[in-house]
Amino acid sequence: MNTKRVVALIIAAVLLFFSIGINTIITIFKTDFFSSFDTMMGSGALTYENVIESGDFTERIANLKVDGVIQDVGEPSIWETVDYNHQAFLEQLDAVLKDETVKAVLLTVNTPGGGVIESEEIYQKLLQIKEEKQIPIYVTMGAMAASGGYYISAPADKIFAQRETITGSIGVIMQSINYEKLAEKIGVEFETIKSGEHKDMFGGSRPSTEEELAMLQEMIDESYEHFVDIIETGRNMSEAEVKKVADGRVLGGSQALRAGLVDEIGNEEAAINALRADYSLEDAELFEYTMDTSSWGLFLGAKLGSMFSPSAESQVLSKIISSTNSPRMMYLYGDY
């Protein structure tokens, strides 16, 4: 081996070592420092109050908003944002529960629904607010308040929908893709070692047996009946009345009014005016919980995030590794 080749190998080794070292330091720095930085500087689930309509601070109306698919996809960070922050919304409900000045809740719903578990968590928190604080909850529906969106609306004292609102879709869905034939076509074979006959059920690599479909249908039926019970209680309807429209169909605002699923046709302004008039809250302050997007923490976090954020390829790979396409029960209208 000549001298030039030895020198070239040494230089390559030094560059490789240097590259690995720098990447390791950056990874540790991002993981340890910025995870704490997110919390300290307000890029996590910290919320603030924003006054929408000034008024009596001792009698306030909290305007809570569910906008986006109801799923717990984790907390936002300086690296990425989330459309709907489930944990932050639960914290808002807890804040309402503890705040003596909150005398009513206006819940703005604009969602196709989402997870069965997440919808139930919101529903239970709303029930707790009604039972412990004895305050009214009014719902105003946006463009869509379907499936899980209706599930969380059901306990409200009064529901407003617009004529163009898409609501209903009462039911439960679970989906999986069976790609066995596609795999055969391109020459992919599955090798599965399992502890029990049904361990890979509904996993997509083979057709489900009748027995397995029956098992899953039993799960779906149980959640569906619970959904129907929620509406019966919240809307003071009989089981027969609910099941007339509880077959998964979507309804417009006027149809939902005729079916007894909503109380009035009107927008958010109509809902807040009715809430004020019905409970003598004409002078009450109206406020919402929001992120303080003007804070130095978020500004500095965004700048540092742009400097040290993972590459696009790394982010895609991370999502692939951390995500799962395992089927789950959903109160959801549309694709997921």
CA proximity to 239, closest of 219, 260, 220? 260
Cα distance between residue 157 and residue 237, in whole Å:
14
In the chain, what percentage of residues exceed pLDDT 90? 63
Per the structure block, which two tokens stand in for 65? 């908003």
CA R_g for the chain: 26
pLDDT confidence of residue 48: 87
DSSP-derived 3-state class of residue 63: strand
Q: Classify 182 in phi/psi space as left (phi over 0), alpha (psi -120 to 50) or beta.
A: alpha
Span 111-160, pLDDT tens digits: 999 999 999 999 999 999 999 999 999 999 999 999 999 999 999 999 99
pLDDT score of 307:
53
Tell me, what's the pLDDT at 12? Answer: 58
Least-confidence region, from 135-139, 189-193, 222-226: 189-193
Helix (H, G, I), strand (E, B) or coil at 160: strand
Mean pLDDT of all residues in 290-301:
54
Active site residues: 147, 199
| 159-182 pLDDT, tens digit each | 999 999 999 999 999 998 888 888
CA distance 165 to 151: 15
Q: Where are the chain's structural domains?
A: 14-174+245-332
The per-residue pLDDT for range 269-287, each reduced to its tens digit, is 999 999 999 999 999 999 9
Separation of alpha carbons 69 and 113, rounded Å? 6
Give the C-alpha separation, 70 to 203, whole Å.
Answer: 24
What pLDDT, on a 0 to 100 scale, did the predictor assign at position 241?
Answer: 97
Tell me the pTM.
0.78
Span of 70-79, 225-234, 327-336 with lowest mean pLDDT: 70-79
Cα-Cα-Cα-Cα dihedral sign, residues 182, 184, 185, 186: positive
Give residue 238's identity as a one-letter amino acid code. S
Residue 66 is predicted with a pLDDT of 97
At 232, which helix (H) or strand (E)?
A: helix 210-235
Q: Does domain 14-174+245-332 have CATH number 3.40.718.10?
A: no
Under 8 Å between Cβ of 298 and 41? yes
Summarised one tens digit per residue, pLDDT across range 48-80 is 899 999 999 999 999 999 999 999 987 665 555
Confidence band, pLDDT 50/70/90 cuts, at residue 31: very low
